[in-house]
């Protein structure tokens, strides 16, 4: 299963005290082209201190990827346990969040904590999915390429925020 529409681009949006934030229009348009739901799925990213987000239809693709990975690793004694652990993280540790006509979501408190999202959320398209970062965590992460940090700094300057 290939995806026709990919998430790309970046934006920085404010998060209010209740956790409301607008999903950028360029990301919402991909969600809507992929399916009917005006919903995103939020999950803790596997490698970075941020959230991973995608449309509900992507979950089936994610499941198929995990199944293929299990088939490759079946010779491993621990493959079944690893598969179950990955499934738990991929599906149990997620939250589906609807957005309104203006693209605003109410970020669930658990997800907000998992992503360490404060009063700003940096949205980054990553192809099949997109990420939601606390911009300061991105700037402080040594694994993040300099060019991406420059994008985060630019987005912060656009808003008049300090990097």
**Which of 1, 5, 6 has the alpha carbon at shortest distance from 127?**
6
Closest to 38 in 3D by CA, of 133, 114, 105: 105
| 82 exposure class (CB count in 10 Å sphere: 0-12, 13-18, 19+) | middle
Percentage of the chain lying above the pLDDT 90 cut: 67
Question: What is the sign of the dihedral through the CA atoms of 133, 40, 20 and 154?
Answer: positive
pLDDT class of 36 with cuts at 50, 70, 90:
confident
d(CA 12, CA 152): 8
- pTM, two decimals, is 0.86
Q: What is the pLDDT of residues 47-93, one digit of tens each?
A: 999 999 999 888 777 767 777 766 666 666 677 777 677 766 667 78
Residues 6+ apart with CB under 8 A from 152: 10, 12, 122, 133, 135, 138, 139, 163
């Amino acid at each position: 299963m290939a995806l026709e529409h990919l998430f790309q681009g970046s934006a920085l949006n404010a998060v209010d005290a209740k956790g409301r934030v607008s999903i950028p229009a360029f990301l919402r348009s991909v969600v809507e082209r992929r399916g009917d739901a005006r919903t995103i799925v939020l999950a803790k990213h596997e490698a970075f201190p941020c959230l991973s987000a995608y449309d509900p239809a992507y979950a089936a693709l994610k499941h198929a990827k995990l199944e293929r990975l299990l088939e490759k690793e079946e010779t491993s004694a621990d493959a079944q346990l690893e598969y179950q652990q990955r499934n738990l993280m991929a599906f149990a540790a997620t939250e589906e969040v609807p957005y309104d006509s203006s693209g605003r979501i109410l970020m669930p408190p658990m997800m907000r904590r998992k992503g360490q999202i404060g009063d700003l959320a940096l949205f980054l398209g990553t192809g099949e999915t997109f990420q939601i970062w606390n911009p300061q965590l991105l700037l402080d992460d040594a694994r993040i390429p300099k060019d991406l940090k420059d994008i985060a700094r630019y987005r912060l300057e656009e808003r008049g925020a300090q990097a």
